[in-house]
Amino acid sequence: MVTVKLFGTLRIDSGVKCFQAEAGSVRDLYPLVLREIYAHDPGSSVTGKALQSCLVAVNGKQVSPRAKLRDGDEVYLFPAVAGG
């Protein structure tokens, strides 16, 4: 079981902050994230492509979407942003 946290406009637009999922890799997570978002908001405009463009971090460190996941990992998904 891993904990998934959404950040940035992805979280503000979808209304999903955090959920638990069972997944072996970051890629395996994408459909689960989409399912969670649509369960929360069936009319959401978030697409699988948008998810794949997100930056991913596992336990605070940035990783590639191919990264494997282990039980207890914390996964962050966030769109690349700017504006300081």
Partner 1 sequence: MTNYGGYMGRVVLLDLSTKKVSNYVWTDLDREKYIGGKAMASKILYDNLTGKESPFGEDNLIVIATGPLTGTGAPSSNRFDISSLSPLTGITSSSNCGGNFGYYLKRAGIDALIIKGKCGSPTWIEIDNGSFLFHDAAVVWGLKASESQAAVQKLLNDSHGKAVRCGIATIGPAGENLVRYASVISGERAAGRAGMGAVFGSKNLKAIAAMGDQTPKIFDPERSAAHRKKWVNYIRSHPLTGSQLPKLGTAGLVSTMQVRGLLSTRNYAKGQFEGFEAVSGEALTEEQLVSNNGCLSCPIRCTRMVKVDGKKVKGPELETLGLLGGNIENRDLDLICRWNYELDELGMDTISAAGTLAWAMEANEKGLWDNGLRFGQVDKLSQVFDDIAHRRGIGNELAEGSKRLSEKYGGADFAIQSKGMELAAYEPRRAVGQGLGYAVANRGGCHLNGGYLVVLEGLGMNVNGQTPRGKADLCMVMQDIMEAISLGGQCLFTSYGIVPGFMVDKPNSLLAKTVNAVVPCLGPAVRVINKVPEIACFNLPLIPYPYELNYTVGMKMNIGKFIRTGERSYNVERAVNARFGVSAANDKLPKRLTDVPQDPNNPKTRVPLEQMKRTYYRARGWEKNGLPGEKKLRRLGIKSW
Binding residues for partner 1, rule: CB under 8 A, are 5, 7-9, 11-13, 17, 52-53, 55, 57, 60-62, 65, 76, 78-84
Under 8 Å CB-to-CB from 73, ≥6 apart: which residues?
2, 3, 58, 59
Q: Which is nearer to partner 1, 8 or 21 (CB)?
A: 8
Nearer to partner 1, 22 or 51 (CB): 51
* Least gap, CB of 56 to partner 1 (angstroms): 9
| Least spacing, CB of residue 68 vs partner 1, in Å | 18
Tell me the β-bridge partners of 45.
Answer: none
- The two tokens of residue 40 are 């929360």
CA distance 32 to 30: 5
